[in-house]
């Protein structure tokens, strides 16, 4: 069963990254559930595994365009695949750090892994309905997917 | 294994064994020392003395034997001096020999006096004899000078000293005749006495030597026994050490000792490493061990607690009851940034010695499985109770209606999720979602209330609370919708549980029907067969439940509901549910008011369905207080929907239309049956969705009537045709 406080911690970590790293706030779209199958993913996905009080997967999924602009906004001219992977991993890492700070020792969070390619998928634990939270930044939309048991 | 697992009898037995072993060792050591002292005191010292005496006696005996010839030698020297004096020979050497013999005898006598024979009668007799004899000898032995004088005339003659010497010699010879024999006899007697003493001493020495040998054998035996004890103790110590090592290496608990500085002892169980994910505990304190794994508050409490344990007067059982580490949550770094949650149980026991508490024995057990199991058990017990209650409730619900409800509700919740999924960024986008979601939830709530599914009704009501809260906010964003998603997920999960329970209830019902008598089957079926398509009974139940909650009485009369065509049945039922709730809450007065107005205590609700060729008509009427347009206008102004001047311009028809406005309500409360302003909005939208119309007629204080025209549906037209 989902808990609002847990999801808020992940959402806050995500928006906080944009505020600090890009100096431009992101807004949160209308969240919804995925009741059948797995959510579609974008080009770059930073995935973290959660254990402890809750178990599951959380990932930040962003299109190439958004990450490219984000890199440029951070004065980085190299927008290669490797840099984009590093960036999406960094977002996931920041989310993890914020959650550790906000929720303390209740959560054990793994180091991020990166999944690329819109055709790929992120393995989600059985028994939980993923919540998709759209993240709007400039004209781009990424998504934060929280799937906790 | 903690020490509490050992039986008190075993502990007592072990302590007794150790105590008796110590006592035996001490007794053996004391016995050895006593024997040693006795050996020294009774054998060695007397033996030394006897041997010493024997040696002295032997020497004196030898001396006495040697002195037996001395009186004869003295007598012979006297005779020699006499003879030489007679022949006028040189007497100097003879006098000198006599002096030496006298002096030697004196010395021998002095030695004999110091010996064991010093006090003997014989020696005293010798002394007396010698004293007298010596008086005669001294002038001879002490002679100095020349006893002769030479002259041409007479040749060599005795001078005066010579004559005196001659006289003294004769006197001495005379004395020697009696003294020599007596001295010899006396010396012989002394020698015999000394010989007897030597023989006695020898016998004593022999006995002492035999005793010494016995003592030595005993001491050797004792030494052998001590050696055996030592070897045995060493073997036992090694065995105990091995057993301790085996115990510490095998026991699943983490065991260690704490000293007064809270330092961990060197001997720890192997499991401690696995429990705390580290190998080296040397020099660590309890605080060091716990610092990174428990909260600061728990750590501080734990350290205060352990200090208490060192108090001699503190009651251990009492202290144990307040152990803050009896079940403590700990976190270990996995090394990849994540942390592992475990539950550990710490148990503290005081180890006491002769001088009070020596150590604190700490046992640590991983109770994660037990804690998790207990939690799961608690949750499953609670779930089982809830499921049982739900199951009993579901058994009262018509299976077809329940399946229909679950299907409709799933579809409605999917619709709610679809509404949420529509992209939104601005306040307007989010606000537009609220009314749509509200209607779906309100319909689900109404259906749940009709079927008596209180768990669903309460959940949807809580969801409506969230929506109501959002509606009143000045600015909306996606963050505000997170609680909706969480609650939607919870309701979906709950519906899934109901669906599973419904299947079980259906199976139970089927079994009951198969095994029951035909009459019983009829009785089981009866409640669901009552009413029009099973619609009246749930509506009546809803009306009675809402009336009871509102402190009112109500009576429902339906007509023609059995003629509602299949494709309209859901719409008619949904509309009827909302109108019943609306009428009971807003229209029907409480029993006291109605009595005062001359009305029947129970309000009357009438639902009439009239099929027609070009469509159907559904009439709903209550005999309540009616609708007062002025109150509607006041509510609209109060809510900010209209200004006062705009409200004044509304005619009766326009005023009555306000009740269909989303969120509009004249009800001040926010109960589960009214106050949201959703019910009539839902009714209007439901009617409009199938192309129908609704009209209201009302008379304040008398009635309110909704007349709903429903167009002919395809199925209905075919049936009519």
pLDDT digits (tens, 9 = 90+) for B460-505: 999 999 998 998 888 898 999 999 999 999 999 888 888 888 887 7
Cα–Cα distance measured from residue A148 to residue A55, given in angstroms and rounded to the nearest whole number: 6
- Domains with residue ranges and CATH for chain A: 4-148 (3.40.1550.10)
Q: Which of residues 109-138 of A touch B (CB under 8 A)?
A: 109-111, 129, 131, 133-134, 136
CB atoms within 10 A of CB A95: 27
Our CA-based measurement puts residue B426 at a distance from the nearest CA of chain A, in whole angstroms, of: 9
Element at B687 (helix H, strand E): helix B679-689
pLDDT of residue B53: 83
CB atoms within 10 A of CB B177: 10
Q: Report yes or no: A87 at the B interface, CB cutoff 8 Å.
A: no
Q: Report yes or no: A29 at the B interface, CB cutoff 8 Å.
A: yes
Which residue, among A22, A15, A26, A48, has the nearest Cα to A115 in the 3D structure?
A: A48
B101, B73 in Cβ contact below 8 A? yes
Sign of CA dihedral A120, A121, A122, A123: negative
Long-range contacts of B411-418 (CB under 8 A, 24+ apart): B412/B440, B412/B441, B412/B443, B412/B444, B413/B440, B413/B444, B413/B488, B413/B491, B413/B492, B413/B495, B414/A35, B415/B440, B416/B440, B416/B441, B416/B488, B417/A32, B417/A33, B417/A35, B417/B488
Mean pLDDT within B74-92: 89
pLDDT of residue B336: 54
In chain A, which residue's Cα lies nearest the Cα of B339? Answer: A108
DSSP B550-608: HT-EEEEEEESGGG--HHHHHHHHHHHHHHHHHIIIIISPPHHHHHHTT--SEEEEEEE
pLDDT of residue A105: 60
**Are residues B417 and A1, on separate chains, in Cβ contact within 8 Å?**
no
Structure tokens at B309: 């344990």
pLDDT of residue B12: 44
pLDDT tens digits, B88-111: 888 888 888 888 888 888 888 888
Of all residues in chain B, the percent with pLDDT exceeding 70 is 90
Vertex B185 angle, CA B183 and B189, to 5°:
115
Q: To the nearest whole number, what is the mean pLDDT of chain B?
A: 83
As a residue count, chain A comes to: 149
- Residues whose CB falls within 8 Å of the CB of residue B522, separated by 6 or more in sequence, listed in order: none
Tell me the angle at which helices A4-21 and A81-103 cross, rounded to the nearest 10 degrees: 130
- Residues whose CB falls within 8 Å of the CB of residue B95, separated by 6 or more in sequence, listed in order: B81, B140, B141, B143
pLDDT of B720 above 50: no
pLDDT band at B325 (very low <50, low <70, confident <90, very high): confident
pLDDT of residue B719: 40
Structure tokens at B564: 């509602």
Mutating which of A12, A32, A54, A105 best tests the B interface, going by the most B Cβ atoms within 10 A?
Answer: A32
pLDDT tens digits, B235-293: 999 999 899 889 888 888 899 999 888 899 888 899 898 888 888 888 899 999 888 77
Q: To the nearest whole number, what is the mean pLDDT of chain A?
A: 87
pLDDT of residue A29: 94
**Are residues A110 and B424, on separate chains, in Cβ contact within 8 Å?**
no
pLDDT tens digits, B536-561: 888 888 888 888 888 899 999 999 88
**Are residues A31 and B338, on separate chains, in Cβ contact within 8 Å?**
no
pLDDT band at B13 (very low <50, low <70, confident <90, very high): very low
Sign of CA dihedral A63, A68, A71, A73: negative
**Are residues B490 and A1, on separate chains, in Cβ contact within 8 Å?**
yes
pLDDT of B327 above 80: yes
pLDDT of residue B178: 85
Q: Which of residues 62-81 of A touch B (CB under 8 A)?
A: none
CATH of B530-721, one of 3.40.50.1970, 3.40.50.170, 3.30.565.10, 2.40.50.140: 3.30.565.10
Q: Report yes or no: B181 at the A interface, CB cutoff 8 Å.
A: no
Q: Report yes or no: B59 at the A interface, CB cutoff 8 Å.
A: no
B387-525 has which CATH code?
1.20.120.160
Cα–Cα distance measured from residue B365 to residue B343, given in angstroms and rounded to the nearest whole number: 9
Q: What are phi and psi for residue A44, nearest 5 degrees?
A: -130, 135
Our CA-based measurement puts residue B371 at a distance from the nearest CA of chain A, in whole angstroms, of: 13
- Name every chain A residue with its beta carbon within 8 A of the beta carbon of B340: 51, 108
- Name every chain B residue with its beta carbon within 8 A of the beta carbon of A139: none
Residue among A28, A35, A133 minimizing CB distance to B492: A35
Which residue, among B599, B595, B667, has the nearest Cα to B627 in the 3D structure?
A: B667
DSSP assignment letter at B354 = T
Strand, helix or coil for residue B347: strand
Give the range among B251-265, B381-395, B552-566, B707-721 with minimum mean pLDDT.
B707-721
pLDDT of B361 above 80: yes
Structure tokens at B497: 């549980």
SS (H, E, C) B47-82: HHHHHHHHHHHHHHHHHHHHHCCHHHHHHHHHHHHH
Q: What are phi and psi for residue B359, nearest 5 degrees?
A: -145, 170
pLDDT of A67 above 90: yes
pLDDT of residue A69: 93
ipTM at complex level: 0.94
DSSP assignment letter at B621 = E
CB atoms within 10 A of CB A94: 20
**Are residues A133 and B482, on separate chains, in Cβ contact within 8 Å?**
yes
For the B254-366 domain, the top CATH level (class) is: alpha beta
Structure tokens at B482: 């997170």
Cα–Cα distance measured from residue A119 to residue B152, given in angstroms and rounded to the nearest whole number: 173
Cα–Cα distance measured from residue B52 to residue B44, given in angstroms and rounded to the nearest whole number: 12
B502, B399 in Cβ contact below 8 A? yes
DSSP bridge partners of A33: A131
For the B47-216 domain, the top CATH level (class) is: mainly alpha
Cα–Cα distance measured from residue B410 to residue B105, given in angstroms and rounded to the nearest whole number: 146
- Name every chain B residue with its beta carbon within 8 A of the beta carbon of A53: 341
pLDDT of B721 above 50: no
- Residues whose CB falls within 8 Å of the CB of residue B347, separated by 6 or more in sequence, listed in order: B2, B4, B320, B323, B326, B362, B363, B364, B365
- Name every chain B residue with its beta carbon within 8 A of the beta carbon of A29: 423-425, 478
- Name every chain A residue with its beta carbon within 8 A of the beta carbon of B420: 30-33
pLDDT band at B664 (very low <50, low <70, confident <90, very high): confident
pLDDT of B454 above 80: yes
Q: Report yes or no: B336 at the A interface, CB cutoff 8 Å.
A: yes
Residue among B417, B490, B493 minimizing CB distance to A32: B417
- Name every chain B residue with its beta carbon within 8 A of the beta carbon of A3: 486
**Are residues A29 and B423, on separate chains, in Cβ contact within 8 Å?**
yes
A32, B421 in Cβ contact below 8 A? yes
Most confident range (mean pLDDT) of A104-108, B8-12, B190-194, B357-361 is B357-361
- The residue assigned the tokens 């928006």 is A15
pLDDT of residue B324: 85
Our CA-based measurement puts residue A93 at a distance from the nearest CA of chain B, in whole angstroms, of: 10
pLDDT of residue B405: 86
Q: Which of residues 400-439 of B touch A (CB under 8 A)?
A: 414, 417, 420-425, 429-430, 433
Cα–Cα distance measured from residue B671 to residue B461, given in angstroms and rounded to the nearest whole number: 9
In chain B, which residue's Cα lies nearest the Cα of A141? Answer: B423
In chain B, which residue's Cα lies nearest the Cα of A110? Answer: B338
**Are residues A4 and B489, on separate chains, in Cβ contact within 8 Å?**
no
In chain B, which residue's Cα lies nearest the Cα of A130? Answer: B489
Our CA-based measurement puts residue B482 at a distance from the nearest CA of chain A, in whole angstroms, of: 6
**Are residues A35 and B417, on separate chains, in Cβ contact within 8 Å?**
yes
CB atoms within 10 A of CB A127: 11
DSSP assignment letter at B264 = B
Give the range among B324-338, B350-364, B572-586 with minimum mean pLDDT.
B324-338
Give domain limits for chain B: 47-216, 254-366, 387-525, 530-721
Residue among A28, A32, A141 minimizing CB distance to B477: A28
Residue among B337, B425, B488 minimizing CB distance to A109: B337
Q: Find how far residue A49's CA is from the centre of its chain.
A: 11
Q: What are phi and psi for residue B497, nearest 5 degrees?
A: -60, -45
Structure tokens at B600: 């029947």
Our CA-based measurement puts residue A28 at a distance from the nearest CA of chain B, in whole angstroms, of: 5
DSSP assignment letter at B40 = I
Our CA-based measurement puts residue A68 at a distance from the nearest CA of chain B, in whole angstroms, of: 22
pLDDT of residue A106: 63
DSSP assignment letter at B285 = B
> B695 burial class (0-12, 13-18, 19+ CB within 10 angstroms)?
exposed
Cα–Cα distance measured from residue B236 to residue B21, given in angstroms and rounded to the nearest whole number: 12
**Are residues A52 and B341, on separate chains, in Cβ contact within 8 Å?**
yes
Q: Find how far residue B714's CA is from the centre of its chain.
A: 75
**Are residues A136 and B425, on separate chains, in Cβ contact within 8 Å?**
yes
Structure tokens at A113: 């892994």
Do B47-216 and B530-721 show the same overall fold? Answer: no
- Name every chain A residue with its beta carbon within 8 A of the beta carbon of B337: 96, 109-111
Q: Report yes or no: A108 at the B interface, CB cutoff 8 Å.
A: yes
In chain A, which residue's Cα lies nearest the Cα of B487? Answer: A2
As a residue count, chain B comes to: 721
């Amino acid at each position: 069963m989902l808990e609002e406080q847990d999801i808020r911690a992940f959402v806050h970590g995500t928006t906080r990254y944009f505020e600090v790293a890009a100096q431009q706030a992101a807004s949160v779209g209308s969240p919804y559930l995925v009741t059948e199958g797995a959510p579609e993913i974008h080009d770059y996905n930073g995935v973290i595994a959660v254990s402890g009080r809750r178990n599951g997967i959380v990932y930040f999924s962003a299109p190439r365009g958004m990450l490219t602009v984000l890199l440029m906004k951070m004065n980085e001219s190299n927008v290669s695949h490797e840099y984009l992977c590093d960036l999406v991993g960094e977002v996931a890492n920041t989310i993890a750090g914020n959650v550790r700070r906000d929720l303390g020792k209740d959560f054990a969070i793994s180091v991020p892994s990166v999944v690329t390619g819109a055709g790929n998928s992120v393995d989600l634990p059985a028994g939980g309905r993923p919540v998709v939270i759209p993240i709007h930044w400039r004209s781009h939309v990424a998504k934060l997917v929280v799937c906790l048991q | 294994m903690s020490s509490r697992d050992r039986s008190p009898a075993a502990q007592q037995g072990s302590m007794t064994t150790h105590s008796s072993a110590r006592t035996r060792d001490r007794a053996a050591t004391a016995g050895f020392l006593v024997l040693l002292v006795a050996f020294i005191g009774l054998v060695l010292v007397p033996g030394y003395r006897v041997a010493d005496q024997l040696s002295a006696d032997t020497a004196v005996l030898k001396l006495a034997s040697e002195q037996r010839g001395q009186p004869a030698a003295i007598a012979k020297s006297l005779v020699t001096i006499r003879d030489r004096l007679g022949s006028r020979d040189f007497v100097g050497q003879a006098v000198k020999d006599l002096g030496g013999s006298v002096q030697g005898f004196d010395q021998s006598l002095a030695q004999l006096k110091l010996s064991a024979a010093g006090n003997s009668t014989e020696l005293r007799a010798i002394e007396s004899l010698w004293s007298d004899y010596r008086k005669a000898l001294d002038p001879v032995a002490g002679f100095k000078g020349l006893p002769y004088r030479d002259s041409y005339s007479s040749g060599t003659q005795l001078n005066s000293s010579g004559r005196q010497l001659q006289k003294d010699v004769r006197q001495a010879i005379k004395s020697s005749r009696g003294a020599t024999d007596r001295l010899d006899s006396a010396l012989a007697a002394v020698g015999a006495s000394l010989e007897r003493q030597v023989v006695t001493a020898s016998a004593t020495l022999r006995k002492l030597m035999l005793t010494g040998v016995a003592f030595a054998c005993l001491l050797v035996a004792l030494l052998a026994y001590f050696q055996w004890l030592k070897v045995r103790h060493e073997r036992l110590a090694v065995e105990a050490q091995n057993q301790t090592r085996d115990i510490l290496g095998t026991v699943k608990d983490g065991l260690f000792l704490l000293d007064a500085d809270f330092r961990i002892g060197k001997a720890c169980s192997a499991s401690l490493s696995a429990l705390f994910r580290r190998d080296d505990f040397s020099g660590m304190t309890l605080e060091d061990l716990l610092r990174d794994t428990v909260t600061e508050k728990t750590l501080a409490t734990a350290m205060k607690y352990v200090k208490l344990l060192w108090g001699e007067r503190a009651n251990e059982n009492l202290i144990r009851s307040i152990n803050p580490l009896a079940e403590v949550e700990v976190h270990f770094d996995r090394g990849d940034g994540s942390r592992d949650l475990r539950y550990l149980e710490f148990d503290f026991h005081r180890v006491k010695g002769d001088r009070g508490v020596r150590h604190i024995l700490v046992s640590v057990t991983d109770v994660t499985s037990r804690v998790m199991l207990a939690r799961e058990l608690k949750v499953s017990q609670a779930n089982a109770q809830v499921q049982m209650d739900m199951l009993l409730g579901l058994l009262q619900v018509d299976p077809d209606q329940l399946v229909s409800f679950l299907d409709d509700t799933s579809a409605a919740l999917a619709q709610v999720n679809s509404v949420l999924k529509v992209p939104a960024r601005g306040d307007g986008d989010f606000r537009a979602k609220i009314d749509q979601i509200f209607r779906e939830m309100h319909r689900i709530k109404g259906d749940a209330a009709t079927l008596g599914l209180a768990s669903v009704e309460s959940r949807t009501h809580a969801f409506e609370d969230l929506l109501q809260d959002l509606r009143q906010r000045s600015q909306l964003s996606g963050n505000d919708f997170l609680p909706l998603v969480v609650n939607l997920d919870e309701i979906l999960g709950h519906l899934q549980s109901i669906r599973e329970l419904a299947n079980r209830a259906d199976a139970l019902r089927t079994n009951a029907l198969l095994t029951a008598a035909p009459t019983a089957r009829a009785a089981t079926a009866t409640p669901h067969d009552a009413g029009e398509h099973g619609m009246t009974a749930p509506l009546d139940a809803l009306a009675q439940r809402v009336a009871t909650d509102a402190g009112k009485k109500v009576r429902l009369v339906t007509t023609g509901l059995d003629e509602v065509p299949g494709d309209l049945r859901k719409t008619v039922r949904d509309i009827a549910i909302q109108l019943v709730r609306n009428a009971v809450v807003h229209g029907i007065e409480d029993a006291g008011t109605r009595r005062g107005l001359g009305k029947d205590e129970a309000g009357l609700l009438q639902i009439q369905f009239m099929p027609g060729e070009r469509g159907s008509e559904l009439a709903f009427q209550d005999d309540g207080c009616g609708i007062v347009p002025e109150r509607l206008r006041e509510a609209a102004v109060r809510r900010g929907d209209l200004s006062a001047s705009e409200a004044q311009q509304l005619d009766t028809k326009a005023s009555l239309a306000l009740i269909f406005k989303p969120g509009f309500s004249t009800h001040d409360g926010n109960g589960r049956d009214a106050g949201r302003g959703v019910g009539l909005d839902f009714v209007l939208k439901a009617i409009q969705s199938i192309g129908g119309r609704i009209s209201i007629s009302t008379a304040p204080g008398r009635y309110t009537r909704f007349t709903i025209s429903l167009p002919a549906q395809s199925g209905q037209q075919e049936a009519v045709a």
